A and B are shown apart, each in its own frame.
Chain A
Amino acid sequence: MNFAKTLVAGIAASTMLIGGAALADYPTKPIKIMVGFSAGGGTDTTARGFASYMHEAPSMNGMPAYIVNLPGASGQKAASAVLDEDRDGHTLYMINIGTFIAGELAKGDDRPYHIPDDFVNLGCASQLVTSLQVHSSNPAQTMQEFIANAKASGEEITWGTSGAATMHATIGHVFFDSNGIKHKKVPFKGGSKARAALVSQSVDAVFGGVNTIPGFEADIRALASAGANRDPMAPDLPTFVEQGSPGIEFTGLMCLFAAKGVSDEVKADVGAAIETIAGISGYQKYMGKNDLASFYTNAADAAASQDVMYDVMGPVVAQIIANQ
């Protein structure tokens, strides 16, 4: 039971602290993982699955992790809270980098932080993959058919998404603008509400996570997914790039962040823990049931992916802000 584990770990941690500095290797107490969204969303689901295996990673000294949800301002409230804590690696932040960057960009000059300056990416254990979804009654069977039909009709395409300036919203803008389709975005509070709007045919399309489709195959058809490669959880779904719509080669890697200033030991230990957990079959099974892939991306590759997203999303989000 989690409570018992926490208790045992707490006792162990306090014993180690009393035992002396020689034993004070990181971590010395349970790890707090902040989540900037309500319980139950994609980030929270990943974080909870991840946290439940934290103590199994050898580099974590048997310490467990626990989740604290601090929703608000598209995750920025939790991110700011992480910056306010001691920079000893015992408070980490989990989010997908797409949403993290989009949230920062959406604030324009009022941004509370700049991710590359204030945070360190420690590695990633999953990803959120954006997809173009239409209602099953839509005649388009492929992305190209959808584009052709939209252009031929000459009408504005109404599309839903999980928020005003999220990664999904940004990708939607990139797609419609680069293909010269007139469009109108309808933001919803969360992916499940956007999905409900597509099921009720209140919108023509939705840009949302691939993980929101299972259970709705009779109502929803996905036409394309983001990323340089196909999503391992939806291997039959071709990417935007494959179908001739470039510029959407990235996915929202689900990563753990620490405030800048943590020691190299923290970076190495948490990085090793992420790699271990991503390979644990129980974690993989849990994530698979939630239609989320589990694989390890190291800190360097994740940081490179971050840079690409800034380049692609920056101008789009600036345009969204300018249009408001």
Chain B
Amino acid sequence: MFQNQCAGLREAFDSLGFLSVFYDISCGFVILFNDPYALAFVVLAALVGIVFGALPGLTAAAAIAMMLPILIAYNDEIGGLAGLAFLYVIGKSGRYGGSIAAILFNTPGTAASAATMQDGYPMTQKGQAGKALKTATVASAYGDYFGEIILIFGAVTVAAFTRQFGPPENFAIYLMAFVVIGSVVSDSIIKGIISTLFGAIVGLIGEDIITGQFKMTMGIDELESGMALVPLLIGVFVISEVIIQAEKAAKVKMIDTAPQTLDDPTAHYFTWAEFKRCFPLMFRSSIYGSLIGMMPGLGSSVACFVAYGEEKRKAKNKKEWGTGIVEGIAAPESANNAVSGPSMIPLLSLGIPGSTIAAVLIGMFLVNGLQPGPTIFASEPPLFMGGQLISPREFIFGVFAAGLIGIACYALIGYFAAPLVGRLIAMLPTQYLYPFIFMTALAASYSSRASIWDVAFAIFFGVVGYAMRRTNFSAAAFIIAFVLTASMEEAFRQSMIISDKGFFVFTSFEYGGKFSYAPIFLFIGVAVVAFRAWSAISAKRAEAN
């Protein structure tokens, strides 16, 4: 350990044993508050995320994709914690920001807030927009804090367990993630699987880990180290959205209704009585969100519908759901934000991103010399930040502390200024906004590696992303599969070398004289697909009857 700001704390917490997580998070706060850039970027991220999330069609992932090259370029100047905290908090505030568009304009700002529309917009129509927005703010912050606490207490424990995993277990987890994403993320299992396979094919481009030969590079030098994530993300999430908005602008005005207002003061507030009523529901929804967040590949969009559906099913007033009640906002909003923290657990403990945002965060971890994976909390060397040496564990808890502060920031901004953000967005001239976003997206694509090819890739994947969205293929499945493929292939090839059993290494409970968890993960994957297929068939039969 090193002499840094946390040295005093370390002595105070030394005797706490397994409760050392309290030391970790306290140290995280000390590091964060000693880094003025990081604090400033947390506040900025809360604001930027809300605005991007609230812009119809643009997601937190889009904001992150465009910011990433800039943050990487200035990583040394602003410090690693500032950049990572910025992206992490944007993920949170962006998920929340989506609810503003869902409630005010009946268009989901992000896929994560699609379920919120069902009760959010009817409340706006009834003149209760203020109440709806404040409910969304409280529920989002509640769910986010819930998920963050799970992350803080769970990440180190899970990482300690996953230290036992070798290539066969890793491959089984990747495969499980693939089939689960493919079968759950889209309305159609077939389309989900095709989206996943497409992402996998693009992910296979580049240098072969075992032989060093190049695959599918088509003679383009830029592809030798694989397709870059930034132009891909910008294409799929930003440029495709710009095309869709261009289409819309040609047909109708994007946002045309100003929220009504009522004289009744309770129409503008999420009352204490309502909070008490929603508390158990938000608690349950946060559990759904956290569990879904921990599953690699599933994200907020799945969580919000699961929570909405489950709570509606449990509710005594089922018929009122969808007519504009606070429960219909509290459930999906607490669930989609509860995803944020736990989705970092597979990233930190296995190196597997649980969401598109987590996929981008990998790049930022690497820039700071950290390889996400089971040994991240134990690993050295130390990082040189703000003139001091801090351990990777202290650094990561600094990011967690930034998450906790970031939630408070977006909750405060959202509670008091969400209607203002809504009004501003309604006033934005789309004919200027989306061309500006398009140009920024192209500049961001170029700046990530100073390559004109990356601009071409971004445009190409913009068209691909547009086609996927128009035909209901899943862009999220495509991206996650792309990110996972190279590591999955690596784990597969390594497993084949390590074991003499061939493919059976994945179904055997033993390899190299040690217990293997691989069959358990494969079983979970198969069970999820079977359940999903069975549900789809049952639904079709019910429809036919």
Q: Which residues of A contact B (CB under 8 A)?
A: 1-3, 38-41, 44-45, 48, 71-74, 77, 106, 158, 163-165, 184-190, 192-193, 195-197, 199-204, 211, 214-216, 219, 286, 289-291, 324
Contact with A216, one of B165, B379, B497 (Cβ below 8 angstroms): B379
Do B497 and A184 have beta carbons less than 8 Å apart?
yes
* B residues less than 8 Å from A71 (CB atoms): 225
Do A39 and B490 have beta carbons less than 8 Å apart?
no
Residue B245 at the A interface, CB < 8 A?
Answer: no
* A residues less than 8 Å from B487 (CB atoms): 189
Do A211 and B373 have beta carbons less than 8 Å apart?
no
- Annotate B197-229 by CB proximity to A: 1 below 8 A, 0 otherwise: 000000000010111100000000100110000
Contact with A40, one of B168, B366, B512, B514 (Cβ below 8 angstroms): B366
CA distance A215 to B379 in the complex (A): 6
CA distance A165 to B212 in the complex (A): 8
Do A193 and B382 have beta carbons less than 8 Å apart?
no
> 11 A–B contact pairs at CB < 8 A?
A40-B369, A40-B370, A48-B76, A74-B212, A77-B221, A184-B497, A184-B498, A193-B373, A216-B379, A219-B163, A289-B2
Secondary structure of the B contact surface, majority rule: loop
CA distance A219 to B366 in the complex (A): 24
A-B complex: 5 closest residue pairs judged by Cβ atoms: A202-B166, A40-B369, A72-B225, A215-B380, A290-B381
Residue B164 at the A interface, CB < 8 A?
Answer: yes
Knowing that A72-B207, A73-B207 touch, tell me 16 more A-B residue pairs with CB under 8 angstroms. A38-B366, A40-B369, A41-B369, A77-B225, A164-B212, A187-B494, A192-B371, A196-B373, A197-B167, A199-B375, A200-B514, A202-B168, A211-B381, A214-B380, A214-B381, A215-B379
Do B369 and A39 have beta carbons less than 8 Å apart?
yes
CB distance from B432 to the nearest CB of A (A): 31
CA distance A187 to B382 in the complex (A): 26
Residue B378 at the A interface, CB < 8 A?
Answer: yes
Q: Which chain A residue shows the least CB distance to B449? A: A70
Do B379 and A186 have beta carbons less than 8 Å apart?
no
Residue B77 at the A interface, CB < 8 A?
Answer: yes
- Which residues of chain B from 344 to 394 have any CB-CB distance to chain A below 8 Å in the complex? 366-371, 373-375, 378-382, 384, 389
Do A200 and B212 have beta carbons less than 8 Å apart?
no
CA distance A211 to B379 in the complex (A): 11
Do A72 and B375 have beta carbons less than 8 Å apart?
no
Query: Interface size class for chain B?
Result: 35 or more
Contact with B382, one of A74, A165, A203, A289 (Cβ below 8 angstroms): A289
Q: Which chain A residue shows the least CB distance to B74? A: A3
Q: Which of B378, B380, B381 has the most CB of A within 10 A?
A: B381
CA distance A190 to B490 in the complex (A): 12
Do A193 and B371 have beta carbons less than 8 Å apart?
yes
Do A196 and B374 have beta carbons less than 8 Å apart?
yes
CA distance A202 to B514 in the complex (A): 8
Q: Which residues of B contact A (CB under 8 A)?
A: 2, 74-77, 163-168, 207, 209-212, 221, 224-225, 366-371, 373-375, 378-382, 384, 389, 487, 490, 494, 497-498, 511-514
* B residues less than 8 Å from A74 (CB atoms): 212
CB within 8 Å for A73 and B369 given contacts A211-B381, A214-B381, A286-B384: no
CA distance A2 to B513 in the complex (A): 51
CB distance from B115 to the nearest CB of A (A): 38
CB within 8 Å for A202 and B371 given contacts A72-B207, A290-B382: no
CA distance A144 to B163 in the complex (A): 28
CB distance from A6 to the nearest CB of B (A): 9
* B residues less than 8 Å from A289 (CB atoms): 2, 381-382, 384, 389
* A residues less than 8 Å from B207 (CB atoms): 72-73
Q: Which chain A residue shows the least CB distance to B378? A: A215
Q: Which chain A residue shows the least CB distance to B514? A: A201
Contact with A39, one of B224, B225, B366, B384 (Cβ below 8 angstroms): B366
CA distance A185 to B212 in the complex (A): 14
* A residues less than 8 Å from B210 (CB atoms): 164, 187
* A residues less than 8 Å from B168 (CB atoms): 202
Do A158 and B366 have beta carbons less than 8 Å apart?
no
Do A216 and B375 have beta carbons less than 8 Å apart?
yes
CA distance A45 to B381 in the complex (A): 10
* A residues less than 8 Å from B512 (CB atoms): 158, 201-204
CA distance A215 to B393 in the complex (A): 11
Q: Which chain B residue shows the least CB distance to A38? A: B366
CA distance A78 to B207 in the complex (A): 15
Contact with A45, one of B163, B166, B369, B379 (Cβ below 8 angstroms): B369
Do B494 and A3 have beta carbons less than 8 Å apart?
no
CB within 8 Å for A186 and B371 given contacts A74-B212, A192-B379: no
CB within 8 Å for A40 and B163 given contacts A187-B209, A195-B375, A199-B374: no
CA distance A295 to B429 in the complex (A): 61
CA distance A2 to B389 in the complex (A): 17
Do B225 and A73 have beta carbons less than 8 Å apart?
yes
Q: Which chain B residue shows the least CB distance to A71? A: B225
CA distance A72 to B225 in the complex (A): 5
* B residues less than 8 Å from A158 (CB atoms): 497-498, 512
CB distance from A194 to the nearest CB of B (A): 10
Contact with B163, one of A106, A186, A199 (Cβ below 8 angstroms): A199
